Amino acid sequence: MSEQNNRSNSHPARPMGGHGPGGGMALPGEKAKNFWGTVGRLFNYMAKYRIALVIVMIFAVGSQILQVQTPKILGKATTELFKGVMSGTAMQKAGIAMKEYPIDFTKIESIIMTVIMMYVASALLNFIMQFMMTRISQETVYRLRREMKAKMKTLPINYYDTHSNGDIMSRAINDMDNIAGTLQQSLTQLIQSTVMFIGTLWMMLTISWQLTLVAIATIPLSLVVVGVVAPRSQRFFAAQQKSLGLLNNQIEENYAGHIINRSFNHETQAISEFNEENERLYAASWKAQMISGLIMPLMTFINNLGYVFVGVLGGIQVANGSMSLGDVQAFLQYTQQFSQPITQLANLTNTIQATVASAERVFEVLDEDDMTDDQVDLPDVAASKDILTMAHVKFGYQGKDLLMTDYNLAVKPGQMIAIVGPTGAGKTTIINLLERFYDVAGGSIRLKGVDTRNMKREDLRRHFAMVLQDTWLFTGTIYDNLKYGREDATHDEIIAAAKAAHVDEFVRQLPDGYDTVLNEEASNISQGQRQLLTIARAFVADPEILILDEATSSVDTRTELHIQHAMGRLLKGRTSFVVAHRLSTIRDADNILVMNHGSIVETGNHDQLMAKQGFYADLYNSQFTGNVEI
Amino acid sequence: MIKIAKNRVSVWAVIGAVLFMIGQVVTNLYLPNLTSDLVNDGVAKGDVSYIWSVGGKMLLVSLLAVIFAFGNVLLAARTSQTLGKNLRRDIYQKVLNMSDDEFDQVGTSSLITRTTNDVIQIQNVAMVALRMMIMAPITLIGASFMAYQKDAQLTSIFIVVIPIIVVFIGIIMYFAVPLFKAMQTKTDKLNLVFREGLTGVRVIRAFVRDNFEQNRFDGVNRDYTNNARKVFSIMAAMFPVMTLVMSGTNIAITWFGGHLIANQAMPIGNMIAFMTYAMQILMSFMMLAMVFVFIPRAQASADRIQKVFDLKTRILEPKDPKKFSTDEPAQLDFDDVVFRYHGAEKPALIDVHAHMKAGQTLAIIGGTGSGKSTLINLIPRFYDVEQGAVRVNGLNVESVSKHDLQDQIALVPQKAVLFKGSLRDNLLYGNAQATDDELWHALEIAQAADFIRESDGLDTFVEQGGDNFSGGQKQRLAIARALVKKASVYIFDDSFSALDFKTDALLRQALRQDKTVNQAIIVIVGQRVSTVADADQIIVLEDGKMVGLGTHQELKENNEVYREIVDSQIKEGSASNE
């Protein structure tokens, strides 16, 4: 059915959605770069199921061979019937009266029994094969997904910063789906179609080579349909997908921005732009649907052509007595199923190509370079009083200008370092370096005298905890989210942390308390409460050094107070780096890193910096423009 | 579903498609008939010229079948895609003209799915309906009739076979459908956990919880895989069993047919034709079964779409709209406004009043949920008041056309929205006539000129959702866009919170100095005291009540709530000297 081939086009609107096996009509342009290499690698993943795969293949071939033979054998039954009828009529003509034609039913019975057995055997083989293949394909993709996830652990942060989540997701979900679908269905289909094609041809030859020639004469016609019409429909499908994508973008944008649309009186223009694209989509999609819809009737027609000629020529041969009726009947059945493997193989090439391209994209991720663990030859500084030092640090993001050329900083235990600067000044760079999301290009960052590159990242990070503006929590219970801070935290420690961070109060008011599952959009708790949870999580971690972003957005006054309060408690007695938004924090800081355009432009405490009359003083004074004394 | 298709497809095209389909089916059914003639009267009698003439007829009939099929496919494709196109257009139009109230009822993401996926669903079903869905019953009836004609006794085979098929499909569906549904949830779970791993990568690594994440993913991965294995194992039985049933039918026909032939009750050609009809009957049964899977899904989509059409807007155009006079100075009044969200028990705003003249700034401050955004949404008439009135330039906003009202207002929403395209296109959004100089001027005021100059100027490409800009940059560009529009009232809904102190201050200073804006009224919703402090009037909201109105000085001296807010933000040492 051509409708089935188009199934994959039924949900193009959701790049993350489309699921289930059954590769649809693949879009052109999705060609793998290294086809056989990727295929080989994919098969390596199935190496564990080597024996099962061989069995699957044997069964696929076996079931198909059985299937292919049955029409011919069943044809023998028809021949027997015909023979009986012919001799019966001949006898009648000779004047012998009879109640029944002399048909050999015992022979027919044995033929039918054979056929039944073959059918049952074929069905059984087919079922077992599908059953095994399901297991093989699902387990293989399970493993691939698992490896992909494991890879996410070892990739450098740089990879995440330079690849969009959408791109990674589409590889992890859509491409995986493609692979699962193809392994599940297309592989066995490929074998079966090939066997069916060869088998049918063979059976036809054993019946009559003359009729086979007639049947084969229709192949070029089928090829024309498959080779000319199908690509055309694919082209329209591609155009359809493209229009659909653009249209969906328009829909998403304008729905999300409907307030802007309305308040700028932009509806009419938005609608006319939409209609334009909608027309384009229509023009492509009806053609795509029509042409793909035509393939089926056209193939039927070609089939019928063969059928008629075989019927006529076969009929003549039976009339001449050079062929049996059963053979002609069987041959007609073969003719009917002859085009099936051709169409199927044509579709399969597309699906398989698309799948190999998908596999290639998955392997691309798996082949990315991991984080490097190069130790540096810098001796530990044993007698350092500083908990953290930065000495001659040189740093810049890959392919970009250096942001720091020779930065020095010494932090004593318990000190608070404020990071300030205008929007987009690159305050995250400091976090990136401290947590070793990125490594320095030169110089050294030392934690208690040890270069951080000579420590395991995990060990380094256990000294830190972060509370960021982006309140990432995972979909799980509140309790588990708090425990996230430290795996071995006890129940009491977690509750104590919750109390310290003003979390306990609101959590107890939730119907499920600490077992409340945070949902994806976090619609069940407010933004401010999420922020409090991240603070509590840091409490649970109980780090030596704290990285904190003070910014709180869209939070009501009461919650804001709670957050300040909680942050205050968290900071107490700890060394801290605070992305500061409040004057009080900045004034109290032991050291202030003033950032602009990605680099640190000034360092010092509030008084020193004010005295400098530089960038910081400027920044600080600007808050009081408007001539209102707060 | 039919309701949705009404008026959106041509009835003639549908009738045409049905007629072509009938033609296609009739020709398809006629072919086996000819085959049986060929065997009965041609082959059995050895009449070669008769064989040729029947062969010719068969060719002709096949050709006719293709022509009919072509007609049907053409009409089906055009009709179904037209339906999709028109539905999409109508929903889009409806949605863009919806008020916030209706928008909230359905939700943005749901509206998007309804316009995209649901329409596609309907469109696909329409295609299937105009082909398979009408083909199956017609074939079923036709083939049954023909089969019955060929031999009435043999048809009793179907009494056994068809229930077997129905029961079998029923069993498969009974087990498979819930699993398929579960698969959807499990897929979502899989996506969710993987995506969380991406969005939270820094937190995960900072807390050294990679292994936890790995296990979490492994859990959902395993769960999904097991479910998929179950589903597809069940489905693995489907195909072989179906083949078996069909083959069994053929065998039964040969066996019983053979006896009929022996008894001279049926000519042999009829048996061959009967087999063909039998296959067609069984195939159409299976098609019907598949169709039944389609229909409920499409029905659900149709219902969701219909709900969008059924939404009635509560913001109506006035019958006899008044016009703003062009040279009237700007003015904004809230006359004892009371507002209640539709169906809400308690009003969201009570007795808000303020009167602003050209050149003045109105600031609104208060906690989350105090009604700040609600209040400014009344100015462009996103909602209607329950009591009192909102007046722009002296006219009640309900007495002028929505279009004219929007022309007087420039809005910067809380969440900056930019559209894919060039920056110029974005800035021209509210004023297509603006010159490049005016655009640059707006960018200067919005403190956005610097970073725009560093990229490609006005030709800078804006990604979808403005994703190539930071939050603060987006916000400034949204401000610039509003400034390009010449309006009487400029509304900034918490637009400065994403900016740092300095940029915030510079921006407000530049705003005040601009000639056009100076003639207008500025409305600022803010969180920070420093943002609102220099406004001419400040409205202090608490739980929808206006608890204060006055200047910063006045409020600081005698407003409890305002003072609390001020204290929370600037009290010295509040953060660290705990």
Shared domain check, B134 and B245: no
Residues A137-169: tens digit of each pLDDT: 999 999 999 999 999 989 998 898 888 887 888
Model confidence at B573: pLDDT above 70: no
Strands B361-366 and B521-526: parallel
Model confidence at A50: pLDDT above 60: yes
Asked whether A568 and A597 are in contact (CB, 8 A), the reply is no
Total Cβ atoms within 10 A of residue B194: 24
Percentage of residues in chain B having pLDDT higher than 70: 97
Total Cβ atoms within 10 A of residue B163: 10
Look at residue A523 in the predicted model and tell me its pLDDT: 58
Shared domain check, B209 and B82: no
DSSP state letter for B318: P
Shared domain check, B354 and B454: yes
Residues B118-138: tens digit of each pLDDT: 898 888 888 888 888 888 888
Q: Compute the C-alpha angle A490/A496/A500, nearest 5°.
A: 145
Cβ separation of B81 and A289 shorter than 8 Å? yes
Residues B233-258: tens digit of each pLDDT: 888 888 888 888 888 888 898 888 88
Distance CA B442, CA B266 (A): 92
Cβ separation of A282 and B85 shorter than 8 Å? yes
Domain count, chain B: 3
Q: Quote the minimal CA–CA distance from A190 to chain B in Å.
A: 16
Contacts of A144 in chain B (CB under 8 A): none
- Which of the four pLDDT bands, split at 50, 70 and 90, describes residue A629? very low
Inside any domain, residue B57: yes
Shared domain check, B378 and B344: yes
Nearest by CB to residue B368, choosing from A10, A556, A587, is: A556
Q: Which residues contact B224 (CB under 8 A, 6 or more apart)?
A: B183, B186, B187, B189, B190
Mean pLDDT rounded to a whole number for chain B: 85
Look at residue A132 in the predicted model and tell me its pLDDT: 92
Look at residue B369 in the predicted model and tell me its pLDDT: 65
Q: Tell me, what's the ipTM? A: 0.81
Tell me which of B220, B268, B450 to substitute to probe the interface with A (most A C-beta atoms closer than 10 Å): B268
Cβ separation of B58 and A115 shorter than 8 Å? no
Distance CA B201, CA A158 (A): 11
Total Cβ atoms within 10 A of residue A169: 17
Cβ separation of A569 and B578 shorter than 8 Å? yes
Look at residue B220 in the predicted model and tell me its pLDDT: 93
Among A254-268, B101-115, B383-397, the range of highest mean pLDDT: B383-397
Q: Which residue, B289, B283, B243, is CA-closest to A192?
A: B243
* Boundaries of domain holding B30: 1-151+294-311
Model confidence at B522: pLDDT above 80: yes
CA distances from B365 to B504, B532, B535 (A): 16, 8, 11
* Mean pLDDT score, B281-307: 81
Shared domain check, B89 and B61: yes
Residues A211-232: tens digit of each pLDDT: 898 888 888 888 888 778 878 8
* Helix ranges, A94-175 (H): 105-154, 157-162, 165-170
Contacts of B172 in chain A (CB under 8 A): none
- A residues 494..533 contacting B (CB < 8 A): 520, 526, 528
Model confidence at A626: pLDDT above 70: no
Residues A427-470: tens digit of each pLDDT: 778 888 888 888 888 888 988 888 888 888 888 998 988 888 77
Inside any domain, residue B289: no
Contacts of A253 in chain B (CB under 8 A): 417, 419-420, 464-465
Retrieve residue B187's tokens: 């897929």
Retrieve residue A121's tokens: 């055997």
Tell me which of A110, A154, A474, A488 to substitute to probe the interface with B (most B C-beta atoms closer than 10 Å): A474
Distance CA B47, CA B45 (A): 5
CATH number at residue B125: 1.20.1560.10
* Mean pLDDT score, A258-280: 87
Shared domain check, B298 and B382: no
Cβ separation of A105 and B38 shorter than 8 Å? no
Model confidence at A34: pLDDT above 50: yes
Shared domain check, B561 and B440: yes
Look at residue A556 in the predicted model and tell me its pLDDT: 62
Task: Please give the backbone phi and psi of residue A614, each rounded to the nearest 5 degrees, phi first.
Answer: -100, -145
Mean pLDDT rounded to a whole number for chain A: 82
Where in B216-345 does DSSP place strands (E)?
Answer: 331-339
Distance CA A237, CA A291 (A): 10
Local structure of B328: helix, strand or coil: coil
Cα radius of gyration rounded to whole Å, chain B: 36
Model confidence at A559: pLDDT above 90: no
Domain ranges of chain A: 28-206+344-370, 209-322, 418-425+460-590+597-624
Model confidence at A14: pLDDT above 80: no
Strand order in the sheet with A450-451: A404-411, A388-395, A442-447, A450-451
Shared domain check, B411 and B508: yes
Local structure of B396: helix, strand or coil: strand
Asked whether B399 and B343 are in contact (CB, 8 A), the reply is no
Contacts of B420 in chain A (CB under 8 A): 249, 253
Look at residue B149 in the predicted model and tell me its pLDDT: 84
Enter the pTM of the model: 0.73
Model confidence at B429: pLDDT above 50: yes
Model confidence at B344: pLDDT above 50: yes
Inside any domain, residue B316: no
Distance CA A542, CA A535 (A): 11
* Mean pLDDT score, A123-138: 92
- A residues 297..336 contacting B (CB < 8 A): 297-298, 300-301, 304-305, 307-309, 311-312, 315-316, 318-320, 325, 328-329, 332
Cβ separation of A120 and B244 shorter than 8 Å? yes
Interface membership of A130 toward B (CB under 8 Å): yes
Interface A-B: count of C-beta contacts within 8 A: 482
How large is the angle between the packed helices A105-154 and B156-199, nearest 10 degrees? Answer: 10
Inside any domain, residue B288: no
Model confidence at B79: pLDDT above 90: yes
Q: What CATH number has the domain spanning A418-425+460-590+597-624?
A: 3.40.50.300
Shared domain check, B401 and B547: yes
Residues A515-550: tens digit of each pLDDT: 888 875 555 677 778 888 998 999 898 888 999 887
CATH of A28-206+344-370, one of 1.10.730.10, 1.10.287.90, 1.10.3720.10, 1.20.1560.10: 1.20.1560.10
Distance CA B439, CA B423 (A): 10
Shared domain check, B496 and B375: yes
Q: Which residues contact A608 (CB under 8 A, 6 or more apart)?
A: none
Distance CA B348, CA B446 (A): 32
- Which of the four pLDDT bands, split at 50, 70 and 90, describes residue A30? low
Cα radius of gyration rounded to whole Å, chain A: 37
Look at residue B569 in the predicted model and tell me its pLDDT: 65
